[in-house]
């Protein structure tokens, strides 16, 4: 019988094939619809041998299919992990409002871990390096994860990494400028009242809320156009008869042995607030932080869009150490 594509010329000796090649040829003919006897005549082997090769080929095909399925599932899980990195990086590259970023001590060299705002209530931490009035956003804590290193390998050629670096640099400047502005307010409060600042002064003194409420009010005006504390009244309370307290919006901002000193503190507090509410009186640190804030918002928008495209496509080119083999 003549089998198209797999016959021998008269007098031609059968070609010697290794076992793997022969199994492949048997499987090829099975796919063409040939039975064992036809394949045996075409290849010059016994039909029982054909059967054995066919069964070996079928088992090999099942194994290959199973392995392919396992790799596909592993790759899908790997891509899910990379998508989660994208989402966490989106949350990590969001600048906090100015009221949340003040650092009390900028001079001492130290490492500080702070929680960023994130989206949908997710908490993302940033590691800051401080010293000599400077702030460097060293890294986001998600960058310590092994899967983040994998993500960088897959995306090393994408253009959003320079945006992330610029965002980190600008974030450090933003935090430093706002912290310097807060310190300026605190120094002015001490100078104009003649009182010291402490967490909870036992005797006459200012609390940290004295400067912080002024700072929060000015930031509301300067960054967002809010009226801040303009409708808030002052009140004097006497939880201790010998040391009454001055309160503002529920915060104790000063304490003294006499109410005259508290009235003076109220006048200073209001005067300083009124002064800095005027845009003409904004110090350089505040002006710079507002300018940087606007730059940060633009960078964050570009970074978010780049990451969102990866999330929606769910395809990560290249290879990393965690890719299934």
Tell me, yes or no, whether 197 lies in a domain: yes
Q: What angle do CA 14, 19, 20 make, to 5 degrees?
A: 120
Residues 153-188: tens digit of each pLDDT: 999 989 899 999 999 999 999 999 999 999 999 999
Query: What pLDDT does 200 receive?
Result: 58
> 55 with 161, same domain?
no
Residue 5 has pLDDT above 80, yes or no: no
Distance CA 76, CA 290 (A): 43
Tell me, yes or no, whether 189 lies in a domain: yes
Residues in the chain: 325
> 257 with 188, same domain?
yes
Determine how many CB atoms are found less than 10 A away from the CB of residue 25: 19
Tell me, yes or no, whether 212 lies in a domain: yes
Tell me, yes or no, whether 59 lies in a domain: yes
Query: What pLDDT does 14 receive?
Result: 47
Residues 304-314: tens digit of each pLDDT: 999 999 999 99
Cβ–Cβ < 8 Å for 231, 240: no
The whole-model pTM stands at: 0.78
> 42 with 169, same domain?
no
Tell me, yes or no, whether 241 lies in a domain: yes
Tell me, yes or no, whether 92 lies in a domain: no
Tell me, yes or no, whether 105 lies in a domain: yes
Where do we find the tokens 């970023």? 101
> 180 with 287, same domain?
yes
> 116 with 243, same domain?
yes
3-class secondary structure, 230: coil
What's the whole-number mean pLDDT along residues 19-33? Answer: 81
> 34 with 155, same domain?
no
What are the phi and psi torsion angles at 72 (to 5°)?
-60, -40
Residue 324 has pLDDT above 60, yes or no: yes
pLDDT band (50, 70, 90) for residue 117: low
> Which residue range(s) make up the domain with 60?
19-73
Residue 25 has pLDDT above 90, yes or no: no
Tell me, yes or no, whether 103 lies in a domain: yes
* Phi-psi label, residue 288: left if phi above 0, alpha if psi -120 to 50, beta otherwise: alpha
Residue 235 has pLDDT above 90, yes or no: yes
> 205 with 266, same domain?
yes
What's the whole-number mean pLDDT along residues 101-125? Answer: 81
> 113 with 59, same domain?
no
Distance CA 265, CA 276 (A): 17
Q: What is the mean pLDDT of the chain?
A: 87
Query: What pLDDT does 202 receive?
Result: 63
Distance CA 195, CA 20 (A): 92
Residues 82-107: tens digit of each pLDDT: 999 999 999 899 999 999 999 999 99
3-class secondary structure, 325: coil
Query: What pLDDT does 136 receive?
Result: 96
> 171 with 65, same domain?
no
Work out whether strand 124-131 and strand 110-116 pair parallel, antiparallel, or are unpaired: antiparallel
Distance CA 136, CA 118 (A): 19
Residue 3 has pLDDT above 70, yes or no: no
Overall number of domains in the chain: 2
User: In the chain, pLDDT over 90 holds for what percent of residues?
Assistant: 58
CATH number, position 28: 1.10.10
Distance CA 89, CA 98 (A): 21
> 127 with 260, same domain?
yes
Contacts of 298 (CB under 8 A, 6+ apart): none
Structure tokens at 88: 């966490």
pLDDT band (50, 70, 90) for residue 292: very high
3-class secondary structure, 1: coil
Distance CA 256, CA 195 (A): 9
Contacts of 89 (CB under 8 A, 6+ apart): 140, 142, 164, 303, 307
Residue 139 pairs with which residues in a beta bridge?
A: 127
Question: Among 73, 106, 137, which residue terminates a domain?
Answer: 73
Structure tokens at 145: 């994860």
> 169 with 267, same domain?
yes
> 37 with 144, same domain?
no
């Amino acid at each position: 019988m003549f089998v198209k594509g797999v016959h021998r010329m008269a007098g031609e000796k059968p070609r010697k094939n290794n076992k793997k090649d022969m199994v492949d040829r048997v499987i090829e003919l099975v796919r063409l619809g040939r039975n064992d006897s036809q394949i045996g005549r075409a290849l010059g082997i016994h039909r029982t041998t054909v059967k054995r090769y066919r069964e070996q080929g079928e088992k090999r095909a099942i194994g290959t299919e199973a392995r392919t399925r396992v790799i596909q599932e592993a790759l899908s899980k790997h891509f899910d992990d990379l998508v989660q990195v994208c989402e966490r990086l989106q949350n990590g590259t969001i600048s906090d409002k100015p009221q949340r970023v003040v650092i009390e001590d900028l001079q001492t060299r130290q490492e500080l871990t702070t929680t960023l705002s994130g989206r949908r209530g997710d908490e993302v931490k940033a590691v800051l390096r401080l010293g000599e009035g400077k702030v460097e956003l060293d890294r986001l804590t998600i960058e310590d994860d092994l899967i983040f290193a994998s993500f960088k390998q897959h995306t090393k050629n994408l253009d959003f990494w320079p945006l992330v670096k610029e965002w980190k640099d600008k974030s450090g400047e933003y935090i430093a400028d706002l912290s310097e502005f807060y310190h300026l307010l605190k120094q002015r409060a001490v100078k104009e009242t003649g009182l010291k600042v402490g967490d909870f002064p036992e005797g006459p003194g200012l609390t940290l809320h004295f400067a912080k409420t002024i700072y929060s009010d000015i930031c509301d005006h300067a960054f967002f156009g809010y009226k801040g504390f303009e409708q808030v009244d002052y009140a004097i309370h006497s939880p201790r008869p010998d040391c009454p307290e001055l309160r503002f919006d529920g915060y104790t901002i000063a304490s003294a042995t006499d109410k005259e000193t508290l009235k003076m503190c109220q006048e200073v507090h209001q005067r300083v607030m009124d002064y800095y509410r005027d845009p003409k009186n904004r110090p350089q640190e505040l002006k710079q932080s507002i300018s940087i804030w606007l730059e940060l918002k633009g960078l964050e928008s570009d970074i978010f869009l780049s990451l969102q495209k990866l999330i929606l496509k769910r395809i990560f080119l290249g290879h990393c150490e965690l890719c299934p083999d």
